[in-house]
C-alpha cells in the first residue's frame, strides 16, 4: 500500500472530490501543504470552497484529467473500474488509495485518533463529541458525515493530538483505520449488497475492535445482540453503556420536554448527574452515553459535557427543522433503515403536531428488498405515509422491486399509504392534504429533502 509522508507533501487527485467525506479529506491535505486536484459531476458549495482554497476542480470525469504530475489518486467504493479517470490512472501506473485507506493514514499522523462506528447514529454521536471537545478547548481535528453548524461544515482542522472521525463498516472500510479509541454504537443488518448476513457484520465489527491497541479503549453498547462475538480476544480496555445497571453508563428517570428533547439522570460509578439534550428522540440518549463515556476517557470536565450536550441542536438532515408551509411544520431526516425510521417517528410523537406525515424515499434496491417487511412495520407508525421511487445510489439492478411493492406491504398495516412516481405529484398531494398544525417529515438518504425545500419555496 502507498504510504503518504506528511513531511513531504505531494500532488493528490480525488475522483469524486465533492463528496461529504472526500471534500473534508482534501481540505485537510491542503492545510498540510499538499497540492490537491480532483473531479466531480457538478459544481457545489463544497467544490467551490475547495477551489477557493487552491484546489483544481474538474467538472465531469475524463481520462485527460489524470495528468502526469499526479503522485497519488484517491477514490471511493462508488468508483468502478470502467470509470475513465480510474482506467487512466491504472494505465499510467499512478499509485492509488481508497478514501478509507487515506483516512486511516491520516489517523496515524495523530497521537489520539477516535473512530465512531455503528449501523446508526455515527454522525449525530460524532457531532455530539465534536461539540464537547470544542467547548473543552481541546482543538481537535474532526471529520463528520454531515454538516455541523458549529464548525460551518463537515470537518475541522485542529492542531492538537485529537482526531475524531466516523468509521463506516460498508465494504469493511473501517478496517483501514488506526483508532486509539473506538466506539461501537449498535450493530444490525444493513449493506446486504456487501455483507452476507448479521454474522458476517458482527465479524467485521470484531475485526474493527481488534484494531484498538493494548493501551486503547473500546466504548461499546453492551446491549448489542452478539456483543460477545465483538468482545472476544480483545486486549484493550472495554467501557460499556446501555439501558440498565449492568453497564458502566446507563440512564434513569427518562423524560421529554415539550419539544421532544430527552432528559435523564446519568448513572456511572455510583454517581448520578442530570443531563438535558438539545435534540429530540429517546434514541439520542444512547448516542449521548457514548459521547459522555469518551469525554470521561479524555478527562473532560462533566460541567463542560453537560453544557455542550444541552446546546447541541443536531446536524444537517438529522431531524432538521426546515420551515413552515401554510401552518405545517416541515422536518427533514436522513433515516433510511427500519431502526432509524422507528427512532425518528418515535421522536416525532413527542414533537408538537396534529397529524404526522412521513414522505419516505427508499435507498437502494438491495436494502429495500432485504428489509421490506421491517420497512413496512416501521413506516406504518406514521398516520400518513407517502412513498417516492427508490433512490438507487450505486445500484443498477432493480431486482424486480419498486416502491409500489413497499406500498402493498404497508397498506394492510396502515391504509393511509400513498405512492407517486414523481416529486411533483408528491408535492401537489401534500399541498392539498396537509393541514395547519401537521408535522411533515421528508425521510431518506437520497434527494427526498428536495420535496420539503420545493414546498417551502412555493
Q: Which residues are the active-site residues?
A: 122-123, 166
Q: Is the dihedral of CA 125, 131, 135, 138 positive or negative?
A: positive
User: Are 387 and 417 in contact, with CB atoms under 8 Å apart?
Assistant: yes
Q: In 3D, which of 17, 78, 86, 79 has the Cα closest to residue 48?
A: 17
CB burial of residue 232 (10 Å; 0-12, 13-18, 19+): exposed
Residue closest to 126 by CA, chosen among 190, 118, 332: 118
Put the strands of the sheet holding 261-268 in their side by side order.
250-256, 261-268, 271-280
CA 449, 417, 439, 338 dihedral sign is negative
The DSSP string of 40-88 is ESS--HHHHHHHHTT-EEEES--GGGS-TT--EEEE-TT--TT-HHHHH
Count Cβ atoms below 10 Å from residue 205 Cβ, excluding itself.
26
Q: How many CA atoms lie within 13 A of 130 on its CB side?
A: 33
153-156 and 141-148 as β-strands: parallel, antiparallel, unpaired?
Answer: antiparallel
CA distance 275 to 114: 23
Under 8 Å CB-to-CB from 394, ≥6 apart: which residues? 77, 78, 364
Residue ranges of alpha helices (H) inside 298-371 are 302-311, 338-349, 365-370
Amino acid at each position: 500500500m502507498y504510504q503518504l509522508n506528511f513531511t513531504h507533501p505531494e500532488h493528490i487527485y480525488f475522483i469524486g472530490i465533492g463528496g461529504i467525506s472526500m471534500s473534508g479529506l482534501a481540505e485537510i491535505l491542503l492545510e498540510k501543504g499538499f497540492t490537491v486536484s480532483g473531479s466531480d459531476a457538478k459544481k457545489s458549495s463544497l467544490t467551490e470552497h475547495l477551489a477557493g482554497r487552491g484546489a483544481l476542480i474538474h467538472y465531469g470525469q475524463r481520462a485527460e484529467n489524470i495528468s502526469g504530475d499526479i503522485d497519488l489518486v484517491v477514490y471511493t467504493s462508488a468508483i468502478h473500474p470502467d470509470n475513465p479517470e480510474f482506467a487512466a490512472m491504472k494505465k499510467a501506473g499512478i499509485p492509488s488509495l481508497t478514501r478509507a485507506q487515506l483516512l486511516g493514514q491520516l489517523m496515524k499522523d495523530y497521537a489520539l485518533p477516535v473512530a465512531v462506528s455503528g449501523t446508526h447514529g455515527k454522525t449525530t454521536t460524532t457531532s455530539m463529541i465534536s461539540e464537547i471537545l470544542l467547548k473543552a478547548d481541546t482543538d481537535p481535528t474532526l471529520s463528520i458525515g454531515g454538516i455541523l453548524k458549529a464548525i460551518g461544515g463537515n470537518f475541522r482542522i485542529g492542531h492538537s493530538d485529537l482526531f475524531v472521525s466516523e468509521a463506516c463498516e460498508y465494504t469493511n472500510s473501517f478496517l483501514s483505520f488506526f483508532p486509539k479509541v473506538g466506539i461501537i454504537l449498535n450493530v444490525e443488518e444493513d449493506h446486504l449488497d456487501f455483507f452476507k448476513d448479521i454474522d458476517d457484520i458482527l465479524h467485521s465489527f470484531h475485526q474493527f475492535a481488534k484494531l484498538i491497541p493494548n493501551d486503547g479503549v473500546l466504548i461499546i453498547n453492551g446491549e448489542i445482540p452478539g456483543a460477545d462475538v465483538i468482545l472476544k480476544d480483545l486486549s484493550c480496555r472495554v467501557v460499556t453503556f446501555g439501558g440498565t445497571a449492568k453497564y458502566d453508563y446507563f440512564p434513569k428517570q427518562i423524560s421529554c420536554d415539550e419539544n421532544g428533547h430527552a432528559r435523564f439522570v446519568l448513572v456511572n460509578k455510583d454517581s448520578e448527574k442530570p443531563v438535558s439534550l438539545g435534540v429530540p428522540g429517546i434514541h439520542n440518549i444512547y448516542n449521548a452515553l457514548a459521547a459522555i463515556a469518551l469525554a470521561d476517557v479524555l478527562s473532560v470536565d462533566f460541567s463542560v459535557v453537560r453544557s455542550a450536550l444541552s446546546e447541541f441542536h443536531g446536524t444537517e438532515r438529522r431531524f432538521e427543522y426546515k420551515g413552515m408551509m401554510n401552518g405545517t411544520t416541515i422536518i427533514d431526516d436522513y433515516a433510511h433503515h427500519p431502526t432509524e425510521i422507528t427512532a425518528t417517528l418515535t421522536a416525532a410523537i413527542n414533537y408538537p403536531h396534529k397529524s404526522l406525515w412521513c414522505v419516505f424515499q427508499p435507498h437502494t434496491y438491495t436494502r429495500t428488498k432485504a428489509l421490506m417487511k421491517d420497512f413496512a412495520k416501521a413506516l406504518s407508525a406514521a398516520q400518513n405515509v407517502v412513498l417516492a421511487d427508490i433512490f438507487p445510489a450505486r445500484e443498477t439492478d432493480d431486482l424486480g422491486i419498486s416502491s409500489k411493492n413497499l406500498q402493498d406491504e404497508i397498506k394492510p398495516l396502515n391504509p393511509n399509504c400513498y405512492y407517486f412516481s414523481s416529486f411533483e405529484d408528491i408535492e401537489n398531494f401534500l399541498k392539498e392534504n396537509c393541514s395547519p398544525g401537521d408535522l411533515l417529515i421528508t425521510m431518506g438518504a437520497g434527494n427526498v429533502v428536495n420535496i420539503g425545500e420545493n414546498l417551502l419555496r412555493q
